Structure 1
Amino acid sequence: MNKRVFNPPAVAGGKWPVLTHVGRVSGATYRTPLDAHPVDGGYLFVLVYGSRSDWVQNILAADSARLRVDGREVELATPRLVGKDEAFQALPDEIARPPRLLRITEFLRMDLVAG
Structure 2
Amino acid sequence: MQIPSVVATVNKHVTNRVQGLWAWLIPPWAVVLHTGRTSGRAYRTPVVGFHTPQGFAIPVLYGPHTQWVKNLIAANGGEIRRAGRRHQLIEPRMIPAEEITASGVAGRYTRAGTWTLVATIGPRI
Shorter-chain TM band = 0.7 to 0.9
For the residue of structure 1 that corresponds to 2:69, the secondary structure is helix
Q: How many residues align?
A: 111
SS in 2 for 1:34: strand
| CA deviation profile, 1:61-114 (whole Å, cap 9, x unmatched) | 011111110111111110111112212x1x23342514x8x6x21110001224
- Which TM-score applies when normalising by structure 2? 0.78
**Structure 1, 34-43 or 65-74: larger mean CA deviation:** 34-43
Q: Aligned residue for 2:11? A: 2
1:20 to 33, 38, 45: 33
Residues 96 and 112 (structure 1), Cα distance of their counterparts in 2 relative to 1, 3 Å cut: closer
The runs of 5 or more residues in structure 2 that have no matched partner are 1-9
Contact 2:50/2:58, CA 8 A, preserved across alignment:
yes
Q: CA deviation at 1:12?
A: 1.2
The equivalent residue for 1:92 is 103
Which AA in structure 2 matches 1:6? T
Q: Which residue of 2 aligns with 1:110?
A: 119
Pick closer, same or farther for the CA change 1:106–1:8 going to 2, 3 Å: same
Aligned Cα root-mean-square deviation (Å): 2.2
Kept in 1: contact 2:31–2:44 (CA 8 A)? yes
Q: How far, CA to CA, are the matches of 2:85 and 2:54 in structure 1?
A: 16
Q: What is the match of residue 63 of structure 1?
A: 76
Counterpart for residue 44 of structure 2? 31
Runs of 5+ unmatched residues, structure 1 = none
Q: Which stretches of structure 1, 4 residues or more, deviate above 3 A after TM superposition?
A: none
